[in-house]
Amino acid sequence: MSSPTPRIQFDVERQAGRVPLLIVENGHDPVLWAEENREALRAAVDEHGAVLVRGLGLRDPAEVADTFQRLVSGGLMPDREAFAARQPYLDGVYSSLAWPANQPMCMHHELSYALEFPGLMLFACLQAPSVGGVTGVADASVVLDALPPDIVRRFESQGWLLARSYNGDIGASYEEAFGVSDRADVESYCRAHVIELEWQPDGELRTRQRRPAVVRHPATGQRCWFNQVAFLSEWTTAPEVREYLVDVYGPDGLPFNTRFGNGEPIGEEIVALLNEVYEAHTLRTPWETGDLMLVDNIRMAHSREAYEGPREILVGMAEPRNIFDLDNHNQDGAR
């Protein structure tokens, strides 16, 4: 009978501009390590918002799935309402979103537009790219404090709106997003998840969902800038891509776009400001093959930089939360 893996001391390294880092000595069995050190690792995530674990040497999807399962309570969540396709692996483990390698994914909170979203994100690197591809993180309470108060007040009072067009060409189809294909089932899903919908004459589905833009963290009570206002905005899209999409689908038929909660457009200058504030507060550490990262999805936004070469990051989502169960001050209009 093998002796248990010794419990390590959690000495998380903090460096300016870097993701908090936990170095694990090589030779541990990742699954056994996760099982024995779950509470200590989760405490570190509670303290720092995100922790990158280096040295576990994760090797394949099955090992990643087992490791993820040992680190969460209640199992992993199914992927619903994603705006781009993911490849399913097993046991609630998915590929990262299908997104062009040469286009960055700016800061966002996973599924912050959904009624139910993950409180915890888990990432595992099975192949680090040769250039770029960093998954950055940014503290949502720090970002909120850095934003102009007048902008925050408007989003707090009105919330934000995500408009989606499922055109069958770009992004996830509504069958992939909702997990159902029959029209009646789609309509039932949308009613249950507070999503307005409209079928177009050609069969295209368009939806609108209003959500809070600022929430209080359920554990700390901190106010957090929690949304995807910038990431899913037409103004974050590369200019040539935006022009093409508007030309093909029209300004109201973009695959996704964001507005103020009352439906008014969000100006390009506001989206640029949001992205500038995110950039100023981004922590980034390049991936190494075998890495594990846990991210508090309410406290920390995350991003993905452009990259070169093959990149394989596996993703798990856990600890579901309902957006309207959080203390969303002055945001009744976001329902």
Average pLDDT over residues 281-306: 97
pLDDT at residue 5, rounded to an integer: 47
Q: What is the largest CA-CA distance in the chain?
A: 67
Dist CA 94 CA 38 (whole Å): 21
Average pLDDT over residues 34-50: 95
Going by C-alpha positions, the residue among 101, 20, 47 that lies closest to residue 292 is 20
Which residue segments constitute the domains of the chain, with CATH numbers given?
Answer: 142-276 (3.60.130.10)
Q: What is the pLDDT of residues 87-135, one digit of tens each?
A: 899 989 999 988 889 989 999 999 999 999 999 999 999 999 999 999 9
Q: What is the pLDDT of residues 142-188, one digit of tens each?
A: 999 999 999 999 999 999 999 999 987 777 889 989 989 899 999 99
Closest C-alpha to 68, from 45, 90, 44, 86: 90
DSSP secondary structure letters along 120-164: EEEEEEEE--SEE----EEEHHHHHHHS-HHHHHHHHHH-EEEEE
What is the value of pTM for the model shown? 0.92
